[in-house]
Structure formats: structure tokens, C-alpha cells
Structure 1
Amino acid sequence: MPTDATPAHPRKRKHRRLALALAAVVVVVAVLTGLIASGVLWPTRVLAGRYAVRGVDVSVYQGTIDWTVLGNENLDFAILKSTEGSGSQDSQFAANWEGARDTDLVVGAYHFMSFESPGETQAQNVIDTVPAEAGTLPVTVDLEYYGDFFDNPPSRETVRGILDPLLDALEEHYGVPPMIYTTQKAYDRYVRDNYPDNPIWIRSIAAEPNLPDGRDWTFWQYSSRDRLPGYDGEEEFIDMNVFSGTHDDLRSLTQ
């Protein structure tokens, strides 16, 4: 019996199915991207869950911190921003140090290294700011790109000329080798095959770290998009980290 309807050509049906499949993929990717951006999902959380010892790092951007509340969030350590360059101090450091030290957390401080001032004066800034107290983690030097240096990284020689005297002065004052926090790109350029006595704290938010020289990491920052109760700063997220050893190993790392 004749009909006015014309069946779709097989090729057109195939193209339509392909278009629908691609649209579905785009939607799924968009949803996953949104969940990751909002901190609901984070690719490395499952991998980091294999490590029993975990902690946070904070700065002025987390605002005023209630350390009693934050310290009860199944955390073992907290590393606090203290200083930056040769003349800048984190305005919340003193309060964070006092508050965190009143908890059971193992506490440390980190210094954001500048590529624009001498290591000796940066070390003095740290020494003038961070107490040398027993039971605290070694001071950390944060070595990473910032600003225009993402596109124009300083040379290895320039960085070593700042980093080496900075590390030496901090070790002399605090009595233990400082830790080095770094990204995988900065590690490969400036740290690889050097500084064997300095524990490594590595940032890797896409996968578990695999250092190019085969070295073991000590701390791993696996997320910068977590939310925990206890702070009220302009930054709604908090950085999460794990330690590669046991609770006793963490304690043995302290000064």
C-alpha cells in the first residue's frame, strides 16, 4: 500500500546515531569537568586514600581558622604558609601557628621562594618569622613557577644561586635539612638528581607522583579543591596532602 513517509537512508541514520553519541560524550565530559571544578570529584582521591597519614596546607586565603574544628577532620599534620621572598610574611601565620600547635597535629611552615631576591635574605625572613620549636616539621621551601615565570622560567643556574644558600642557611639555623615543595615540571628542571638530603613534597593533582629520577616522595599534595569545616577565608577550598609513611615515621621527621 503506498505511503507518503520515506524511510531514512541508512547512512543518514548512522550519522544521526553518531551525532547523538558525540553529544552524549560532550554532556558527560561537561558534567565531570563541572564536578571536578566544584571539588565534588577529584581524580587522585582514590589513589591518595591508600595512605593513612594525611594533612592540609593553609595560608591567609583560608582566613581565620578554628583549629579545634579543622584538627578534628581526621588530619595528622598541617603545614602553614609563613613567608614569601625577602620581606613578606603571611598575616595569619602567627595565629595559625599558635592555634595548630594547640592541637594534636604535627605542624610545619612553608616559605614561598622568590626568583627575584637573594637566598640569604629570604632565609633571614624565614628565621625571623618561624619559631625553631621541637616537635615541628622541617621548614619547607616552596619552589614553583609564578606570574611571568610560567612562560619564561628562570635558568637552572639562576635558581640554584638562590635556592642553595637559602637551604643552607635554613639547615644551619633549624638543625635539619629543609623540605622542598615543588611541581613536577619545576622538579624536573631544578631539583632532579640533586638535594638528596631534602625531603620532597610534590604536587600532582592528576595522578600519583612518579619522580623522573626514581626518587621517593615524602609528602604528596593530591588535591587543591577539597572543602573542610573550620575556616572562613576568601578561598573556599583547601589543599590536601598525604605522607608516605606511618604516624611514627611522621613524628620521627620532626625536629
Structure 2
Amino acid sequence: MTAESPLPRRRRVGRRKAVAAVLAAVLVLATCAALIASGVLWPNRLFASGYSTRGVDVSSYQGTIDWPALASENIDFAIIKSTEGSSAVDSRFAENWSAAGDTDLLVGAYHFMSFDSEGATQAQNVIDTVPDAPGSLPVTVDVEFYGDYFELPPTQTRVRDILDPLLAELEDHYGSPPIIYATPEAYDRYIRDAYPDNPIWIRSVAVPPQMSDGRDWTFWQYSHRDRLRGYDGEETFIDMNVFTGSLDELTALAIG
């Protein structure tokens, strides 16, 4: 038998190394994907760590909240879902509002804006539900797509016909311009280059926010995959946010 040429052997070794490298890369990517999906790893946490004032937003999906336990989780503020549209009220709002108010957290409420009812009736739903409590954060109006509106977004004219009177009536009642929460898509379509007096709360859970009109954000929702102590609802994760300034500046915003 003749001796085997060394060149083919080197090629086979090279192929095995290449295959091993690809498999290792796939394993690393799969592991990272699993850690991100479970909330263990979240790249935005690194960027958000540069902001010292942190908080959560919650709704009935977090179930019963042990507010002293949650407040001890290195957070400074909590924004609680109150209402939706012209008639819906979060089933745990009153309980959450009262219990959160007994902690040292700065507390606010948010309203999920409907594209299907008028701004005046939505404002009345908020006013009937959210107390005008001294020292609470300005009311937030949440502007984002839902249901069929992901595929068929309403026109800017339609949304602003709802949003403008909603913001105006809430400001008139509570004495401060409401915060506007928006996803990047909703911001670009409906908020961009408008509402200069309203603090912006932007959702950007994959990367740090880049406002398309160069505006500065006031709040940034950087994660929807965190886990903290103090709640037991069907939603195991909790949304995490940072405020752009210091705790004293956030307190000043609450005082108005």
C-alpha cells in the first residue's frame, strides 16, 4: 500500500476545525438567545446603568404587588396603569395607587390611548380614576399601535384629533403637561416635531434610543424582560425605565 498524501489529511483537519468553529458559534448564539429570552441577559442594561434614577411601570398583569418589597429593589419611581380608552379601568389600579403611595417611590399613572374613541371622553375616564395627588408624577398618555392598527395605522390627523384634546384636558385638570409614552414607530408617525412641552417617554428595548427629530427623551423604557421581587402575576417580567436626570430633578417634575 502506498503512503497517504499529507495534503488531503491537512484539508480534513482544516474542515474539522471549521465545522467545530461553526458549531461553537451556533452554540454561543443559541445560548445568548436563550439568556435574552429568559431575561438573564439584556444588552440595554449596560447602557441604562449610566442613569441613576430608575423605575418600573406595572399593570394588573403583575398581579398582587408587595409594594414595600418592590420599592426595595433599587428603584425610585413607579408608573401604574390606570385606564384605557373611554371606559376601561385597570382592575388593580386603586390598590396599586394606594399601596405604592405608602412607599418612598415617586408614583404616577398611565392611560393607554385608544384610536377608537374621542379624546374628551378618554380624558374624563382618567380624571374620574386618577387622583390629583400632590407630589405625584404627571399623568402619562401611552401612544402605541395595537390589534389591527399594527397593519393599518390610523392617520396622523385622526390620532392628533384624539390626542390634542386629551392632553389639553389632562393638563388643565392636573396642572402639568402630561408625559407622552411612545414606541419609535408611533413617535415618528404621530409625535415627531410636535408637543414640545410634553416630556417624552420612549420605548427602546433593543438598543439605546435615537430620537428621529433630535429631541431629548425624559424617560427611557430600556427593558421588558426584567425580574424583581414583589409581584406574582401572570406576567413574570416587569418593564424597567430610567429618568434622564437626578432624583431631585424627578422630584421637581412631580412637584410641578
TM-score, normalization: structure 2?
Answer: 0.95
Residues 230-245 of structure 1: matches in 2 within 5 Å?
Answer: 230-245=230-245
Task: Using the TM superposition, give the Cα deviation of residue 20 of structure 1 relative to its aligned residue in structure 2, in angstroms.
Answer: 2.6
Residue in 2 that maps onto 1:33: 33
Residue in 2 that maps onto 1:193: 193
Q: Distance in 2 between matches of 1:153 and 1:13?
A: 56
Q: Write the deviation string for residues 85-141 of structure 1: whole angstroms up to 9, x where unpaired.
A: 111000000000000000000000000011111111111110100000110000000
Residues 20-169 of structure 1: matches in 2 within 5 Å?
Answer: 20-169=20-169
Q: Distance in 1 between matches of 2:15 and 2:225?
A: 39
Task: Using the TM superposition, give the Cα deviation of residue 18 of structure 1 relative to its aligned residue in structure 2, in angstroms.
Answer: 2.9
Q: Give the percent of matched residue pairs that are identical in Structure 1 and Structure 2.
A: 64
Matched residue SS, 1:253: helix
Counterpart residue identity of residue 73, structure 1: E
Counterpart residue identity of residue 85, structure 1: G
Task: Using the TM superposition, give the Cα deviation of residue 151 of structure 1 relative to its aligned residue in structure 2, in angstroms.
Answer: 1.5
Change (3 A) 1:170 1:25: same
Residue in 2 that maps onto 1:228: 228
Residue in 1 that maps onto 2:211: 211
Q: Distance in 1 between matches of 2:5 and 2:71?
A: 70
Matched residue SS, 2:109: strand
Q: Distance in 1 between matches of 2:22 and 2:112?
A: 44
User: What is the Cα-based RMSD across aligned positions, in Å?
Assistant: 1.7
Which moved further from structure 2: 18-27 or 237-246?
18-27
Q: Distance in 2 between matches of 1:139 and 1:18?
A: 57
Matched residue SS, 1:239: strand
Task: Using the TM superposition, give the Cα deviation of residue 37 of structure 1 relative to its aligned residue in structure 2, in angstroms.
Answer: 0.5
Counterpart residue identity of residue 58, structure 2: V
Q: Distance in 2 between matches of 1:4 and 1:225?
A: 56
Give ranges in structure 2 of 5+ residues lacking alignment: none
Residue in 1 that maps onto 2:8: 8
Q: Distance in 2 between matches of 1:87 and 1:15?
A: 65
Q: Distance in 2 between matches of 1:56 and 1:43?
A: 18
Give ranges in structure 1 of 5+ residues lacking alignment: none
Task: Using the TM superposition, give the Cα deviation of residue 154 of structure 1 relative to its aligned residue in structure 2, in angstroms.
Answer: 1.1
Q: Distance in 2 between matches of 1:13 and 1:186?
A: 53
Task: Using the TM superposition, give the Cα deviation of residue 16 of structure 1 relative to its aligned residue in structure 2, in angstroms.
Answer: 3.8
Task: Using the TM superposition, give the Cα deviation of residue 147 of structure 1 relative to its aligned residue in structure 2, in angstroms.
Answer: 1.2
Q: Distance in 2 between matches of 1:90 and 1:118?
A: 19
Task: Using the TM superposition, give the Cα deviation of residue 12 of structure 1 relative to its aligned residue in structure 2, in angstroms.
Answer: 5.0
Q: Distance in 2 between matches of 1:157 and 1:10?
A: 68
Q: Distance in 1 between matches of 2:9 and 2:193?
A: 63
Q: Distance in 2 between matches of 1:144 and 1:14?
A: 52
Task: Using the TM superposition, give the Cα deviation of residue 11 of structure 1 relative to its aligned residue in structure 2, in angstroms.
Answer: 4.9
Q: Write the deviation string for residues 55-88 of structure 1: whole angstroms up to 9, x where unpaired.
A: 1000000001011111111110000000011110
Counterpart residue identity of residue 71, structure 2: G
Which moved further from structure 2: 234-243 or 152-161?
152-161
Counterpart residue identity of residue 58, structure 1: V
Matched residue SS, 2:251: helix
* Count of matched residue pairs: 255
Matched residue SS, 1:201: strand
